[in-house]
Chains A and B, each alone.
Chain A
């Protein structure tokens, strides 16, 4: 149980276009979703925290107008990379806190974004 489905797993887009990444909680309600970015040989860096029905909280240095997060329902959160540039190429992972298991966090399988 407590599965987060993340799509797409890989995407290649042209510079200047926008890409949407979706994370769905399949068998639980994700009131809070975390979005991370992972650079090669680096740790997962928290980008933002989204709560269902309210605005996302962004970490320092993350451009909120570039990385749009929507958490309109208890089962779906989306991250849209707007006007993508090659430096946005990275691995993006979502995570949800699973309330019923106390301290559980479940992760999506990640999205490899390549901007050309």
Chain B
């Protein structure tokens, strides 16, 4: 079945450090891929997405590229801020009107000043 595997947390970084959170997936078809962010006490918010191979999603300085050959969608940011502290979820959807989201376990990021 479909699944998402992302790196275990927590990840602790200093401000302005480079961030990578690894995400790999298993899918039978051609899924769309997403990164969601959950700030403390809030619901999940879509951070970025990519719907086909080689697409790059980007938002708020975060980027992720849909790599079909490695079945990966790693999240990167060149310089993190304290305000980026949150839990990040990688997810996939097989798409279509019937698709629903399958999530990874989430990675907690803490950024220290």
Contacts and interface: CB of A to CB of B under 8 A. Distances in A.
- Chain B associates with chain A: yes
Contacts of A9: 41
Nearest to A38: B106
B27 interface: no
A37 to B, nearest CB: 11
A95 B43 CA distance: 9
Report the interface size class on chain B.
20 to 34
B43 A4 contact: yes
A95 B101 contact: yes
A44 B100 contact: no
Pick the 3 closest A-B CB pairs, nearest first: A107-B43, A109-B43, A107-B44
Contacts of A49: 100
Interface residues of A, number: 20
Interface stretch (B45-53, B64-72, B76-84): B45-53
B103 interface: yes
B51 A42 contact: no
Interface in A9-34: 9, 34
B46 to A, nearest CB: 7
